[in-house]
Amino acid sequence: MRRGEIVGLRWKYVDLKLRVAHLPKTKNGDSRDVPLSSKAVAVLEKLKIIAEAREEGENSTDDRVFKARVDAISCAFDRARKRARKLYEQECAASGKKANSDYLLDLRFHDLRHEATSRLAEIFPMHELTKITGHKDPRMLMRYYHPRAEDLAKKLV
């Protein structure tokens, strides 16, 4: 999912029993249903309990699953990336190894979408993958799809 889709997700569009999140508004203008993994459902179930406990006694009309702004996601991700980089440097120093100067420096939140799309491409055929990722044009999806030759070779057995 894109950052805007994540922050725009509302509880009324999440069906934990069917394991689907409905996105009525997406970047390309079409709505779509996103399948939820078991791990995603487990996290959302916990978030739902927390949200319901907070709203008890409140008259809140904010039905958003994640009460954050798009830029807040990028900022939080950047802070996490910097912490991970610092830990990496500390581990390298402790083991007497030289840290790779480029490690994690150019990682962006959007790269997670790219990685997820590449991994989902190992499971789903392209026509199903376009429904999950929200790409209208398969050519755009191909920018994300990078199958490894060894994985393709296994399918040829």
**Which residues are the active-site residues?**
2, 27, 110, 113, 135, 144
Residues 70-95: tens digit of each pLDDT: 999 999 999 999 999 999 999 999 99
pLDDT at 44: 97
HSE, side-chain direction, 13 A CA sphere, residue 112: 10
Domain 1-68 coded CATH 1.10.443.10: yes
Strands 32-35 and 20-23: antiparallel
Q: pLDDT for 13-63, tens place per residue?
A: 999 999 999 999 888 888 999 999 999 999 999 999 988 888 766 667 788
Q: What does the domain layout of the chain look like in residue ranges? A: 1-68, 70-107, 108-157
User: What does the alpha-carbon distance between residue 99 and residue 92 come to, in Å, rounded to a whole number?
Assistant: 6
Contacts of 157 (CB under 8 A, 6+ apart): none
**Whether this model's pTM surpasses 0.85:** no
